[in-house]
Amino acid sequence: MAFSERVTRLKSSLIREILAAAQRPEMMSFAGGLPAETMLPQSEWAQMPRSIGQYGMSEGEPQLREALAAQARALGIACEASQVMIVSGSQQTLDLAAKLYIDKGTEILLEAPTYLAALQIFQLFGADCLTVPLCADGPDLDVLRQRLQRHAPSFAYLIPTFQNPSAVRYSENARDAVAALLDEFNVTLIEDEPYRDLTFDGGSARPIAGRLKRASWIYTGTVSKTLMPGLRVGFLIASPDLFPHLLKLKQAADLHTNRVGQWQALQWIGSERYAQHLDELRTFYRTRRDQFEAALQRHFSDLAQWNSPQGGLFFWLKLNQTLDTRTVLNAALAQNVAFMPGEPFFTDPDANPGYLRLNFSHIDPQRLDEGLRRLAGVIKQAQAALAA
Amino acid sequence: MAFSERVTRLKSSLIREILAAAQRPEMMSFAGGLPAETMLPQSEWAQMPRSIGQYGMSEGEPQLREALAAQARALGIACEASQVMIVSGSQQTLDLAAKLYIDKGTEILLEAPTYLAALQIFQLFGADCLTVPLCADGPDLDVLRQRLQRHAPSFAYLIPTFQNPSAVRYSENARDAVAALLDEFNVTLIEDEPYRDLTFDGGSARPIAGRLKRASWIYTGTVSKTLMPGLRVGFLIASPDLFPHLLKLKQAADLHTNRVGQWQALQWIGSERYAQHLDELRTFYRTRRDQFEAALQRHFSDLAQWNSPQGGLFFWLKLNQTLDTRTVLNAALAQNVAFMPGEPFFTDPDANPGYLRLNFSHIDPQRLDEGLRRLAGVIKQAQAALAA
């Protein structure tokens, strides 16, 4: 059996296994990034033309590209519809970017921690991952400059708005400083923003892609967190030098994104109805965040530190007493509690023990308190066993 | 700008450019593999549950996997639903297979000619392509044995039923012989069957995957040619040794296939309504084939040779007087006629001049005769100019 060399780096995906376990109805899950089931909007399909069943363009539906370009311009990204491509969920943007940039040993720059599935695909292609630690309002700028002085990464992959997993939102200053550094060293930006619209304090900082003067960039987003992930409709917007390559890679990957989902997304993007849905969603998740934080205070105040997330779907906890949280996952699952250990979000998990990512959007509020109580119990027990 | 090494092999896609030109309403297109617009079925969506909007499993919808496994067993492929994965069109199977097998310089085995988009993705990943010429009823078996004796390809990619572009259908004997050779040399089979159901003489030979005793295999199909390509719903079925790797690669590529399209496909696969739709489709395309062949007789009988296709969507013409058909593409487009030059379907296009692939399913029958008349004229003119 002669597999490719990259298959040696094909990790057993912890997140897939946890999510599979979390499917069990009795499970109290803090694991995934799933929208609340009750907030999936009712969708209408009766008006969809039959011609949507035919093959479409690799770029995506022209009207949807126009609508997304208009939305991006309103955020401060100078772009035309010709720079917009519809992809099969923003995860596909990462696959296309990996193909465009990464050979074995290619240096890339990531936040620490960073999005698990990004790490997975970049490492599969053989990337050599440089990291910059995240502070409360953005990356450590001194370390970032150092990395750029000493290395020439092919791109920097950043999630500046309600980062997954840390919930960090870069400040205005951090965004300007990062843009200036990427311009200075001419390093391509890949900016991933699935959570931008889920803001709880109304804050909406201009994307870093809109602050660049020189560096190439790919900006990516999705309707998965705000509309319906089951549509698998995401998008990327790229600087004109990159777009033609990405388009050919998209065609080779799956010809084009499903048109049924694109048609449905088009019924929402830019509409009054969508604005209203987003308002309801923000209110709903803000309430869930507050309920979650109250329960955290009850069960984790002596166990861990965290910042209250101003958007997104996650709390990021750092345990006061270090413990590799991967070691308590099975004990938690045995008590019907699923969570994401924080270690795999780092390129060097063993060097970063003691973090948990807890999703607050999906769990039934009736079971929230019991779930966190059990999770705290499992952690205390493991820490006591270590101390003994 | 530091792109990956593979980007140097990212070809400008002739097919994408031709299809873009073919979008113009005045164009008479023999280029794509598009279903006839009038044969896209009316789809109903009112019963789709709201929960389809949520994230799904990377494997695909359990019921759809069951239905496809049952269909494959009926064709003679011993398999369980656990071996079935739903993919974003069968093109994605090729992307996943490329990731699983191909490093730069990896030897793989292909038919000559073969499917253009397969060649594109395999070469993008750096494959070293060995080829076996196709005869009227399958590959040249002597050459196949020679190749397997002298090389150890990571897989053989074959399209045994109404091959694209050649329309060849492997005979029973050829299928048995190929299976025996792949078993003997333990070479993995990738069997691509988008056109199986579009049979005009009712013939339905058992897939080669169902004849293997030892070699690993991936069998792939799609609803694109029989239902709606716009759904982007394809599937793969793999031997159990390969499935876990393919599943992780699928998750890294786009998490899962869109659930809306999967739900719609499930309303059809295995149903009485689908069987009836397939019957209508076969009758419709058989008539189109006959009309097309009559027009070919009028305009190409002194220009080219062809076999009448017993299924699929294409005529494959070999010109009597050799001419690189890529050189007449612009002249044809200028006369509002689009076609696929045959040369790019070979790994060595320059060594295989004088073929055309003509799609007969999509063109308006009212314009068929005029389109072929113009195309013949363009070819004659170019041949005359060469002879002068």
For the stretch A361-387, pLDDT in tens is: 989 899 999 999 999 999 999 999 988
A269 and A68 in contact (C-beta within 8 Å)?
yes
What lies within 8 Å, CB to CB, of A309 at 6+ separation is A162, A167, A200, A289, A315, A316
Yes or no, beta carbons of B54 and A48 under 8 Å apart? no
| Minimal CA separation from B355 to chain A, in Å | 23
Q: Which residues of chain B does A6 touch, with a Cβ-Cβ cutoff of 8 Å?
A: 99, 103
Spatial separation of the C-alpha atoms in residues A375 and A277, rounded to whole Å = 33
Overall average pLDDT of the B181-186 stretch? 98
Q: Which residues of chain A does B124 touch, with a Cβ-Cβ cutoff of 8 Å?
A: 99, 249, 252
How many beta-carbon pairs below 8 A join chains A and B? 220
Nearest residue of B to residue A51, measured between CA atoms = B37
For the entire predicted model, the pTM comes to 0.97
Spatial separation of the C-alpha atoms in residues B264 and A50, rounded to whole Å = 13
Q: Which residues of chain B does A57 touch, with a Cβ-Cβ cutoff of 8 Å?
A: 20
**ipTM score assigned to the predicted complex:** 0.96
Yes or no, beta carbons of B256 and A232 under 8 Å apart? yes
**pLDDT tens-place string over residues B332-384:** 999 999 999 999 999 999 999 999 999 999 898 999 999 999 999 999 999 99
What are the φ/ψ torsions at residue B5 (nearest 5 degrees)? -60, -35
Yes or no, beta carbons of B45 and A40 under 8 Å apart? no
From the list A53, A120, A125, the residue facing B230 with the nearest CB is A53
pLDDT score, position A204: 82
Q: Which amino acid is at B173?
A: N
| Minimal CA separation from B385 to chain A, in Å | 35
Yes or no, beta carbons of A53 and B41 under 8 Å apart? yes
Yes or no, beta carbons of A4 and B54 under 8 Å apart? no
Residue among A54, A121, A187, A241 with most chain B CBs within 10 A, to mutate: A54
| Minimal CA separation from A207 to chain B, in Å | 22
Overall average pLDDT of the B190-201 stretch? 96
What lies within 8 Å, CB to CB, of B151 at 6+ separation is B107, B109, B130
Q: Which residues of chain A does B13 touch, with a Cβ-Cβ cutoff of 8 Å?
A: 248, 251-252
Q: Which residues of chain A does B42 touch, with a Cβ-Cβ cutoff of 8 Å?
A: 50
Spatial separation of the C-alpha atoms in residues B252 and B268, rounded to whole Å = 29
What are the φ/ψ torsions at residue B191 (nearest 5 degrees)? -110, 120
**pLDDT tens-place string over residues A89-126:** 999 999 999 999 999 999 999 999 999 999 999 999 99
Q: Which residues of chain B does A214 touch, with a Cβ-Cβ cutoff of 8 Å?
A: none
Query: What is the percent of chain A where pLDDT is above 90?
Result: 90
- Give the burial class of B125: count Cβ atoms within 10 A of its Cβ; 0-12 exposed, 13-18 middle, 19 or more buried: buried
Yes or no, beta carbons of A50 and B35 under 8 Å apart? no
